[in-house]
Amino acid sequence: MASLNRITPCLWFDTRAEEAARFYTSLFEDSRVLKTTYYGPGMPGPEGSVLTVEFELAGQRIVALNGGPHFTFDEAFSLMVDCEDQREVDRLWEALTEGGEESQCGWLKDRFGLSWQIIPTVLDELLEDPDPGRRQRATAAMLGMRKLVVADLLRAADGG
């Protein structure tokens, strides 16, 4: 049984909510589709088509809604993923950019238009480093990257 979240993100799709939920849950441990609801008679969508998909993504409850073409995603909303290492960054980056597009500083848009930030945990450590020079060099390196590369961030922070 899913735990009760007080705040649940709702992602508005035109018609691909079920496809998106299945794709996202395939990428993360502790993820699963919980429930699917369907349009019924007299509702604004085609009767029998998917209305909502409730799913857990790495333990976070999310609802995907097939609401039609009225609204689309933009960069004002993104899902941020803390990655333990470069291998996880690479795996997620490759999967999420397939059919999508790279942006900068670890941001991308997936095939559904949803923005993600794929961030190695070492970046937080570098940006909180007590040495202002390391922080500045790591920030400058990050600003020049698309996908974040841990070795390059560390090399830049160390002045290399």
Report the CATH number at residue 133. 3.10.180.10
Host domain of residue 92? 73-160
What pLDDT score does 5 carry? 66
Give the domain-ending residue among 22, 49, 71.
71
- Residue 55: φ, ψ to 5°: -145, 160
HSE at residue 99, side-chain half, CA atoms within 13 A, is: 9
Dist. CA 143–CA 105, nearest whole Å:
5
Tell me the whole-structure pTM to 2 decimals. 0.92
| Same-domain check for residues 98 and 46 | no
What pLDDT score does 48 carry? 96
* Ordered mean pLDDT values, 10 residues apiece, the chain (160 residues): 75 98 97 98 94 97 97 96 98 98 98 98 96 97 98 96
What pLDDT score does 160 carry? 82
What pLDDT score does 3 carry? 56
Give the domain-ending residue among 39, 71, 103.
71
| Same-domain check for residues 132 and 65 | no
